[in-house]
Amino acid sequence: MLEGRNTVIFLVDQFQVADYGLERLTHRAREAGVLFVKLTGIKPEIETGSNALTVSYYDQELEEKVTISPDCLILEEAYKAPKEIIHLADILGVTADRKGFFQGDNIYNQPIHTNRHGIWVVDSAKGFVSLQEGIEEAKAAAMDIHQFLGKGESITAYKRLLFDEAKCGKCLTCYRSCPHLAISYYEVKPVFHELACKACGICAAACPIQIMR
């Protein structure tokens, strides 16, 4: 109880308030007696007895274990990726995240992009997102696709990758390390595809004799 009112406590792993209107709603919820506790990776302990139900969790702000006795306990349903995503990701050469969804947002990609040029992911294909976020992503992807296909051509940077073929040891380390499938090989020689290259520099860093830049 909090000042004569019922208290609702949310125990969450991921707590996002950066989406449109969420921060304002969070403040209003707290004023109404709704508390949000971000967990630190340690799962709460739930004990049931004949007379009481207890939930124990580690509070990061208090730096101690907290035990509560709620009148009611509600568990969130798991949000899992369809099994078909892994199969489709393998066919397309698109990276999947640890939860089994298409991975769009990482250090090398914008939120709607994947590790491959010409393949975009939006909305629930990446996991749970809000309706507003899904709409904005769909708009961004549509604009990107229009720019990509609008003129019927794609322009790459001139000499994006400099490669000394004469010094190449044909180890194909660059081919194995490229996350964008921008390198293939022919007669045990690497072949670089400029349109697929994202200039991330991974192949150059992995080359054992440093012949690329």
Q: Report residue 157 as tokens.
A: 């940077």
What are φ and ψ of residue 63, in 5° steps? Answer: 60, 45
pLDDT at 109: 64
Q: Options 3.40.50.300, 3.40.50.1100, 3.40.710.10, 3.30.70.20; which CATH number does 165-206 get?
A: 3.30.70.20
SS3 65: strand
Q: Taking a C-beta distance cutoff of 8 angstroms, is the pair 180, 151 a contact? A: no
pLDDT at 2: 44
DSSP state of 109: B
pLDDT at 154: 67
Please give the chain's pLDDT, 213 residues, in tens. 445 567 888 888 776 666 677 788 888 888 888 888 888 778 889 888 777 889 999 888 788 889 988 888 888 777 788 888 888 888 988 888 878 888 765 666 667 888 888 889 888 888 877 888 889 989 999 988 888 777 766 666 666 677 888 888 889 999 999 988 889 988 888 988 888 888 888 888 899 888 766
Q: DSSP per residue over 89-108, as a string? A: HHHHT--B-TTSSB---BTT
Distance of CA 207 to the CA centre of its chain: 28
pLDDT at 5: 63
pTM of the predicted protein model: 0.56
Four-residue CA torsion sign, 14, 20, 26, 27? positive
pLDDT at 105: 57
Residue 194, CA distances (Å) to 127, 148, 180 in order:
31, 15, 11
Q: Report residue 212 as tokens.
A: 């690329």
pLDDT at 1: 41
For the chain, domain boundaries: 8-68, 84-149, 165-206
Total residue count of the chain as it appears in this document: 213
SS3 134: helix
**Bridge partner list, 53:** 48
Q: Report residue 84 as tokens.
A: 């078909």
Q: Report residue 52 as tokens.
A: 């009481």
CA distance 178 to 183: 7
pLDDT at 17: 62
pLDDT at 213: 66
